[in-house]
């Protein structure tokens, strides 16, 4: 997943009853996955586990319900119960067997607000098949049902799922832990005017009866099972890649993502074979709460990436990098999330460097580092100052609390610092072997540290403070510093304006927005002082059209500055933006600035805008903004 802003550190008063899985994890951390458990899952996967799941799904847009049968093929076992995770689902019946199904008893345990409930099914020793008949409900958090007006075409409804971190259990009863990898297949029925796509092998065209069959033959964690249904068409970009989008967007997509095939080659050059055969994108409507989601074979991407100038392509590099870090080698629990994201941000930057040069890669890294410093400050003031450690302790908390710049950017700087010390050649060899030797496995932080020591540090006689990086808060002193001349120049220009100089003088007299990349404008805007008079901000805006025409990455920083400066001129643009965009990273910080503002009426404006905007937001964004506004 890419670009998730610091979530509000939710105070969740939960009384979680002790489950067999909870008891097992008292002695974390342990090196072997078998001995570690995932406190966010009720499942007894260490006793009996799903090896393959077949889904029969009927997607009903009128009722906004998916009617499903989850057919679990189980590992051989002698236990008498199989425990699955579920949340907000109606279970109709459960049967055992393949061709001759017999109904069996089950119980649904107490509901926890984060984890949902354990679904305990009575089985016989040797039971191979468990079939759960169910339907989704209004409480199903993974599903975003969009009415036609929230799509680009405005004619057809749309549906997509978001499984990470623990939302898959809200649309499929499943052992919802990354520790268990499964293969899956599905038969999906949708209205004939729409196409269904999954994180699997996908159709290129609509089926006249609206029936689709899917196979995912590589074993994946449950959070990567994904479905999207809408009026979409496929645009091929190269032999193994292409883009699904609403027809209205396909032309823009083929321009924006033309570099996809080259990007795959570049990634393979660095860390070896791409193992998922196909790399397609699907461009979702604006309500999608993330920049991208690395569902295997079919990355879900936010339409805000269509910047018109290919300047936000790093998100695609990020999702592609997940084909190695995250999808191939997966964090064993959500406490180890940095193993997914830190490695991915590092790899993303390496792809960017090879595609667009060192300068662009550095510009990206510097902007990320600025975000990291802000996040660390926020975390320091929060209820959980320990959250700036790489290895987290999220038991009894929402795993989304760990989706901060720490996992992403501190994780990446840990690897960059290591690379600097070890040298790139050795470091690349190490990482390539790491991906190969752990392919299609899950891994804990402790196992990674052990691997790092035996394969890299000890043989090369390197003394490195890995424990400080991983188990201590903040940024260690040996963190490498990255500089960018181009960003420094933009910041110097902003400082001159802050000091009272005229805005568009000398070399900046005829500057246009297209003359600089997105990150340069971000550096410029971030350096401008909120003490600047409104007239100066409006002069900048009227020339550069930041409120009106800039891409969301720039707009977001620009609106925050104007809120902090008390400039209400931009409000109509900001309101339209907050209603259109549902990507949490871009909107949360604006709402936060409005809530923190001392200016009369700002908080009321935030609440009124949210009321208008919320039906276009996914559950993930909606619940985060509700927390901000509380």
Chain positions 501 to 520 lying near Zn ion, rule: CB under 5 A, are none
Taking the least distance from each CB to Zn ion, the nearer of 259 and 405 is 405
Question: Rounded to an integer, what distance in angstroms lies between the CA atom of residue 86 and that of residue 176?
Answer: 8
Token pair for 288: 């999608």
Token pair for 461: 């006689």
- Least distance from C-beta 238 to Zn ion, angstroms? 23
Burial of 424 (0-12, 13-18, 19+ CB in 10 A): exposed
- Least distance from C-beta 168 to Zn ion, angstroms? 17
Output phi, psi for 479, to 5 deg: -60, 130
**407 is a site residue for Zn ion (CB under 5 A):** no
Taking the least distance from each CB to Zn ion, the nearer of 2 and 169 is 2
Distances (CA, A) of 448 to 382, 404, 525: 29, 21, 39
CB 246 within 8 A of CB 151: yes
Neighbouring-strand partners of residue 283: 301
- Least distance from C-beta 283 to Zn ion, angstroms? 17
Taking the least distance from each CB to Zn ion, the nearer of 202 and 323 is 323
Question: Rounded to an integer, what distance in angstroms lies between the CA atom of residue 94 and that of residue 88?
Answer: 17
Taking the least distance from each CB to Zn ion, the nearer of 50 and 314 is 314
Shortest-Cβ-distance residue relative to Zn ion: 1
Question: Rounded to an integer, what distance in angstroms lies between the CA atom of residue 182 and that of residue 440?
Answer: 10
- Least distance from C-beta 531 to Zn ion, angstroms? 36
Question: Rounded to an integer, what distance in angstroms lies between the CA atom of residue 119 and that of residue 122?
Answer: 10
Taking the least distance from each CB to Zn ion, the nearer of 291 and 616 is 291
Of 299, 282, 229, nearest to 58 (Cα)? 229
- Least distance from C-beta 165 to Zn ion, angstroms? 12
- Least distance from C-beta 24 to Zn ion, angstroms? 28
Taking the least distance from each CB to Zn ion, the nearer of 118 and 221 is 221
**1 is a site residue for Zn ion (CB under 5 A):** yes
Of 143, 147, 142, 170, nearest to 158 (Cα)? 147
**119 is a site residue for Zn ion (CB under 5 A):** no
Taking the least distance from each CB to Zn ion, the nearer of 2 and 622 is 2
Taking the least distance from each CB to Zn ion, the nearer of 345 and 449 is 345
Stretch that binds Zn ion, among 1-9, 41-49, 56-64, 605-613 (CB under 5 A): 1-9
Say how many residues touch Zn ion, by CB under 5 A.
4
Taking the least distance from each CB to Zn ion, the nearer of 405 and 557 is 405
Taking the least distance from each CB to Zn ion, the nearer of 341 and 362 is 341
Stretch that binds Zn ion, among 62-70, 180-188, 339-347, 543-551 (CB under 5 A): 339-347
Chain positions 151 to 170 lying near Zn ion, rule: CB under 5 A, are none
Of 72, 69, 246, nearest to 160 (Cα)? 246
CB 562 within 8 A of CB 570: yes
Taking the least distance from each CB to Zn ion, the nearer of 403 and 456 is 403
Question: Rounded to an integer, what distance in angstroms lies between the CA atom of residue 132 and that of residue 102?
Answer: 12
- Least distance from C-beta 322 to Zn ion, angstroms? 6
Angle at 17 between CA 177 and CA 9, to 5 degrees: 65
| DSSP structure string for 44-113 | -TTTS-EEEEEEEEEEETTTTEEEEEEEEEE-----SEEEEEESSEEEEEEEE-SSS-EE--EEE-PPBT
Taking the least distance from each CB to Zn ion, the nearer of 145 and 414 is 414
- Least distance from C-beta 41 to Zn ion, angstroms? 21
- Least distance from C-beta 289 to Zn ion, angstroms? 13
Question: Rounded to an integer, what distance in angstroms lies between the CA atom of residue 500 and that of residue 36?
Answer: 59
Lay out the site mask for Zn ion across 38-57 (x = CB under 5 A, - = otherwise).
Answer: --------------------
Q: Strand order in 129-136's β-sheet?
A: 102-103, 89-96, 129-136, 65-74, 50-60, 181-189, 211-221
Stretch that binds Zn ion, among 47-55, 152-160, 337-345, 435-443 (CB under 5 A): 337-345
Stretch that binds Zn ion, among 2-10, 118-126, 229-237, 477-485 (CB under 5 A): 2-10
Identify the helix (H) or strand (E) that includes residue 197: strand 195-198
| DSSP structure string for 303-333 | GGG--SSSTTTHHHHHHHHTTTBTTTEEESS
Instruction: Characterise 516 by phi-psi region: left (phi > 0), alpha (psi -120 to 50), beta (else).
Output: beta
- Least distance from C-beta 237 to Zn ion, angstroms? 22
Tally Cβ neighbours within 10 Å of residue 188: 21
- Least distance from C-beta 243 to Zn ion, angstroms? 19
Stretch that binds Zn ion, among 208-216, 334-342, 440-448, 484-492 (CB under 5 A): 334-342
Q: Which residues of 235-250 are buried (b: 16+ CB within 10 A; e: fewer)?
A: bebbebbbbbbbeebb
C-alpha 67 chain-centroid distance: 27
Taking the least distance from each CB to Zn ion, the nearer of 346 and 559 is 346
Stretch that binds Zn ion, among 226-234, 335-343, 451-459, 620-628 (CB under 5 A): 335-343
- Least distance from C-beta 436 to Zn ion, angstroms? 21
Peptide bond before residue 29 is cis, with ω within 30 degrees of 0: yes
Taking the least distance from each CB to Zn ion, the nearer of 340 and 567 is 340
Residue that is written with structure tokens 């290919």 in the block: 310
Taking the least distance from each CB to Zn ion, the nearer of 165 and 487 is 165
Stretch that binds Zn ion, among 15-23, 268-276, 338-346, 420-428 (CB under 5 A): 338-346
Output phi, psi for 358, to 5 deg: -60, -40
Lay out the site mask for Zn ion across 214-253 (x = CB under 5 A, - = otherwise).
Answer: ----------------------------------------
Stretch that binds Zn ion, among 167-175, 202-210, 343-351, 481-489 (CB under 5 A): 343-351
Stretch that binds Zn ion, among 269-277, 333-341, 420-428, 589-597 (CB under 5 A): 333-341
Stretch that binds Zn ion, among 12-20, 174-182, 221-229, 340-348 (CB under 5 A): 340-348
Taking the least distance from each CB to Zn ion, the nearer of 54 and 297 is 297
- Least distance from C-beta 300 to Zn ion, angstroms? 12
Stretch that binds Zn ion, among 99-107, 178-186, 341-349, 586-594 (CB under 5 A): 341-349
Question: Rounded to an integer, what distance in angstroms lies between the CA atom of residue 85 and that of residue 409?
Answer: 31
Binding stretches for Zn ion (CB under 5 A) = 1-2, 341, 344
């Amino acid at each position: 997943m890419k670009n998730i802003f610091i979530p509000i550190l939710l105070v969740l008063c939960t009384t979680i009853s002790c489950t067999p899985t909870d008891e097992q994890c008292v002695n974390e951390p342990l090196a072997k996955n078998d001995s570690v458990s995932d406190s966010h899952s009720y499942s007894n996967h260490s006793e009996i586990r799903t090896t393959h799941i077949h889904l029969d799904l009927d997607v009903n847009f009128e009722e906004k319900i998916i009617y499903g049968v989850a057919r679990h093929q189980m590992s051989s076992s002698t236990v008498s119960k199989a425990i699955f995770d579920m949340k907000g689902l109606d279970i109709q019946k459960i049967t055992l067997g393949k061709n001759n199904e017999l109904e069996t008893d089950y119980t649904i345990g107490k509901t926890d607000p984060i984890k949902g409930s354990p679904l305990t099914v009575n089985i016989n020793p040797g039971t191979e098949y468990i079939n759960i008949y169910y339907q989704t409900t209004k409480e199903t958090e993974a599903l975003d049902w969009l009415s036609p007006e929230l799509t680009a075409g405005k004619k057809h409804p749309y549906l997509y799922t978001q499984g990470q971190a623990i939302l898959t259990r809200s649309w499929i009863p499943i052992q919802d832990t990354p520790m268990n990898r499964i293969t899956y297949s599905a038969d999906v029925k949708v209205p004939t005017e729409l196409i269904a796509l999954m994180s699997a092998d996908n159709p290129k065209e609509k089926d006249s009866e609206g029936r689709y069959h899917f196979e995912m033959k590589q074993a994946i964690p449950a959070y990567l099972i994904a479905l999207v249904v809408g009026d979409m068409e496929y645009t091929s970009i190269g032999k193994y890649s292409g883009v699904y989008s609403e027809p209205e967007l396909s032309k823009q997509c083929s321009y924006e993502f033309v570099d996809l095939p080259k990007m795959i080659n570049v990634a393979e050059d660095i860390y070896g074979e791409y193992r998922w055969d196909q790399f397609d994108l699907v461009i979702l409507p604006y309500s999608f709460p993330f920049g991208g989601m690395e569902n295997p074979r079919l990355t879900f991407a936010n339409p805000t990436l269509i910047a018109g100038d290919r300047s936000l392509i790093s998100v695609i590099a990020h999702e592609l990098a997940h084909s190695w870090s995250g999808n191939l080698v997966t964090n064993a629990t959500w406490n180890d999330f940095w193993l997914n994201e830190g490695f991915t941000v590092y790899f993303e930057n390496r792809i960017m460097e090879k595609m667009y040069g060192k300068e662009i890669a550095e510009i990206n890294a510097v902007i990320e580092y600025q975000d990291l410093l802000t996040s660390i400050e926020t975390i320091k003031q929060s209820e959980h100052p320990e959250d700036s450690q790489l290895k987290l302790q999220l038991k009894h908390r929402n795993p989304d609390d760990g989706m901060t710049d720490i996992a992403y950017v501190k994780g990446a700087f840990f690897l960059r610092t290591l690379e600097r010390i070890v040298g790139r050649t050795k470091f690349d060899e190490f990482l390539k072997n790491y991906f190969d030797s752990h392919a299609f496995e899950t891994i804990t932080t402790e196992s990674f540290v052990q691997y790092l020591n035996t394969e890299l540090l000890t043989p090369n006689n390197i003394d490195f403070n890995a424990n400080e990086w991983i188990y201590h808060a903040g940024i260690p002193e040996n963190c490498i510093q990255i500089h960018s001349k181009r960003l420094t120049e933009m910041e110097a220009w902003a400082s001159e304006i802050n000091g009272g100089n005229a805005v568009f003088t000398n070399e900046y007299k005829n500057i246009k927005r297209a003359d600089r990349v997105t990150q340069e404008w971000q550096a410029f805007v971030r350096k401008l002082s909120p003490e600047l008079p409104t007239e100066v901000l409006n002069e900048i805006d009227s020339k550069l059209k930041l409120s009106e025409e800039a891409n969301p990455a720039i707009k977001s920083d620009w609106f925050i500055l104007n809120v902090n400066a008390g400039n209400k001129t931009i409000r109509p643009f900001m309101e339209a933006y907050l209603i259109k965009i549902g990507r949490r990273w871009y909107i949360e910080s604006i709402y936060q600035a409005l809530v923190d503002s001392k200016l009369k009426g700002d908080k009321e404006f935030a609440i009124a805008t949210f009321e208008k905007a919320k039906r276009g937001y996914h559950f993930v964004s909606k619940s985060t903004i509700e927390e901000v506004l509380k």
